[in-house]
Amino acid sequence: MRFSHVYVENKARQYPLTEEILKKTGDAHVIPIEHYKDIFDRPRQDTGAQKKAPALILAVREGARIFKGAPVCQSFGQRNFYYSSSMMNCLFDCEYCYLRGMYPSSNIVVFVNFEDYANDVKEFLKDGPLYVCASYDTDLIALNGLTGLSDRWTALAEENKDLLVELRTKAAPPDLKNVPNVIYAFTLSPAEIAAKYEKNVPSVDARIKAASRALDNGCKVRLCFDPMILTDNWEEIYGRFAESVARQIDLSRLTDVSVGCFRISKEYLSSMRKRCLDSEIAWYPYVIRNGVAQYEDDTDKKMQEFMRAELARHIAEEKIFTWN
């Protein structure tokens, strides 16, 4: 993707990654700024318009960079579950994405001080093995050609055998490096759901083929059927989809699979509703449980159990993780 405007924090200019990225942005208009929040946190931004042509912001992340895993995220049985955001926002435009309610802007922030992230990880590792989801609040693989951040997390994992990194994506990369302690997690949705709610995203078939190539290369691969979206004939749609994926990928070769229904914090949902007035996803009458907006308990349970049963025909049940 080409960016017409690149905002650069003054303190970010000293970092090699800044220069690497600027060399790739061609004739973009480069604008110096004091702090990324001066642009990213401006009031009354039109996030919908920004999504059509987002600006790029290069910044330095100060303070905390590694965070305890959120309750709405799956830990996959890992004890020391953390996440990190070396980039904020995503090129893709999925109607159900919680980032619509999380951030006040659709512009993309890249934090160029990756060495600080690496040092933080090494400090955490002093207390034992660490599981870090590095691509929750963005899609590092989708923008790796510009930022190289996916490669940097992969290299960090290679250097630290007690570090397990998950890189979640909706991209369809042609090749991925086989690193034993890196899990490439591909989010998949039925074609009917993707066509309606996933804008600017590679086709589901392209993602499935990318996951298959990664498996053939010996990579650890996770498939994420998450979030499941409640729709008419959802059982038929998701049942047919599970069988289609199983025909294209030997699911027994996967590290595991993730299943979960749409859920979002009530605060993010409130913000999403203010910005997405015509969104079916945002305006569904969710129930609030422990601060999380989700489908009615019976519906949520039924959907997850249905998908678990469909997948269990092709993969051991202990490899199927549901949200609750």
Angstrom distance (rounded) from CA 231 to CA 241: 14
Angstrom distance (rounded) from CA 83 to CA 102: 16
The pLDDT score that the predictor gives to residue 252 is: 95
Which of 203, 163, 160 has the alpha carbon at shortest distance from 183?
163
Asked whether the whole model's pTM tops 0.75, one would answer: yes
Indicate the Cα dihedral angle 282, 284, 289, 295, nearest 10°: -120
Q: What mean pLDDT do residues 224-232 have?
A: 97
The pLDDT score that the predictor gives to residue 42 is: 94
Q: What residues contact residue 170 under an 8 Å CB cut-off, 6+ apart?
A: 92, 94, 139, 142, 186, 187, 198, 201, 202, 207
The pLDDT score that the predictor gives to residue 67 is: 92
The pLDDT score that the predictor gives to residue 209 is: 97
Q: What mean pLDDT do residues 304-318 have?
A: 97
Q: What mean pLDDT do residues 169-190 have?
A: 97
Q: What is the pLDDT of residues 18-28, one digit of tens each?
A: 999 999 998 89
The pLDDT score that the predictor gives to residue 26 is: 87
Residue type, 311: L
The pLDDT score that the predictor gives to residue 156 is: 98
Helix (H) or strand (E) holding 183: strand 182-187
The pLDDT score that the predictor gives to residue 153 is: 98
- Rounded to 10 deg, the angle between the 149-159 and 114-125 helix axes is 30
Q: What is the pLDDT of residues 67-82, one digit of tens each?
A: 987 766 766 777 789 9
Q: Across the chain, what does the average pLDDT equal?
A: 95
Confidence of residue 213 (pLDDT cuts 50, 70, 90): very high
Of 3-7, 48-52, 140-144, 232-236, which range is least confident? 48-52
- Does the pLDDT value for residue 231 go beyond 70? yes
Confidence of residue 324 (pLDDT cuts 50, 70, 90): confident
Q: What mean pLDDT do residues 109-119 have?
A: 98
> Is residue 162 a contact partner of residue 128, using CB atoms and an 8 Å limit?
yes
